[in-house]
């Protein structure tokens, strides 16, 4: 089945649903956004704004999936949705968020998952992107690794953002991640737009 068929079908269903249930239409649009993003060619220039939009759509879809069993606090700056000229390798941040749902406890109302994404000094020589997550770790059996984990993400970040900083703290109950990416100047390793 082609990606176009799937996305067009979901888009058609969203249009039909708009008349009877705008909420379902929005849910379908977010699902289509996540799927459409997954189909984007990873060798092409991927803007930071695209990764942030995919994360927002993914989180919306997870909220639909888990309804009132998902406890999440997010601080994702909407200004990031405007940063189309800054590069972010596809699925880097989204994989970090997806790991929360693979390994984290997102159903604990007393310890909600925390996700933050923000830019400081956008479009200046000192521009820095900050991405943080914190979540409790599931107590059930661990999920089998997919092969696209923290070591792969670290290698990609090192190639595209040599000045990045990734700090991970983990104990038997908590996992937290703090990522800082300097965006002061373009890296020659970024794909052409």
Q: What is the DSSP string of 107-128?
A: --TTS-EEEEEEEESTTSTT-E
Q: What is the pLDDT of residue 44?
A: 85
Q: Tens of pLDDT along 133-154?
A: 999 998 875 666 666 688 999 9
Distance CA 188, CA 191 (A): 8
> Mean pLDDT, the chain, as a whole number?
88
Q: Give residue 141's pLDDT.
A: 59
CB 61 within 8 A of CB 82: no
pTM of the full structure: 0.87
Residues 133-154 as b or e (16 or more Cβ within 10 Å = b): bbbbebeeeeeeeeeeeeeebe
pLDDT by residue (tens digit) across 167-193? 999 998 999 999 999 998 777 888 877
pLDDT in tens, 61-104: 999 999 999 999 999 999 999 989 899 999 999 999 999 999 99
Mean pLDDT (whole number) for 8-35? 80
Instruction: Return left, alpha or beta for 147; rule: phi > 0 is left, psi -120 to 50 is alpha, else beta.
Output: left
**The pLDDT of residue 9 is above 90:** no
pLDDT at position 33 over 90 = no
Give CA separation, 90 vs 97, 112, 155, in Å: 13, 26, 14
pLDDT digits 0-9 by tens, 106-118: 999 999 999 999 9
The confidence score (pLDDT) of residue 174 equals: 94
């Amino acid at each position: 089945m082609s990606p176009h068929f799937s996305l067009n079908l979901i888009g058609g269903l969203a249009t039909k649903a708009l008349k009877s249930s705008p909420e379902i239409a929005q849910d379908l649009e977010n699902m289509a956004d996540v799927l459409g993003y997954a189909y984007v060619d990873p060798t092409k220039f991927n803007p930071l704004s695209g990764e942030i939009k995919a994360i927002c759509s993914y989180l919306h879809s997870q909220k639909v999936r888990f309804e009132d069993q998902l406890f999440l606090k997010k601080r994702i700056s909407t200004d990031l949705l405007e940063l189309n000229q800054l590069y972010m390798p596809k699925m880097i941040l989204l994989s970090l968020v997806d790991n929360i749902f693979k390994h984290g406890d997102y159903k604990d109302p007393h310890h909600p998952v925390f996700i933050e994404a923000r830019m400081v000094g956008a479009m200046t020589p000192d521009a820095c992107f900050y991405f943080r997550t914190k979540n409790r770790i599931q107590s059930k059996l661990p999920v089998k690794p997919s092969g696209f984990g923290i070591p792969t993400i670290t290698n990609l970040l090192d190639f595209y953002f040599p000045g990045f900083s990734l700090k991970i703290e983990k104990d038997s109950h908590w996992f937290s991640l703090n990522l800082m990416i300097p965006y002061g100047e373009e890296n020659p390793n970024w794909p052409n737009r």
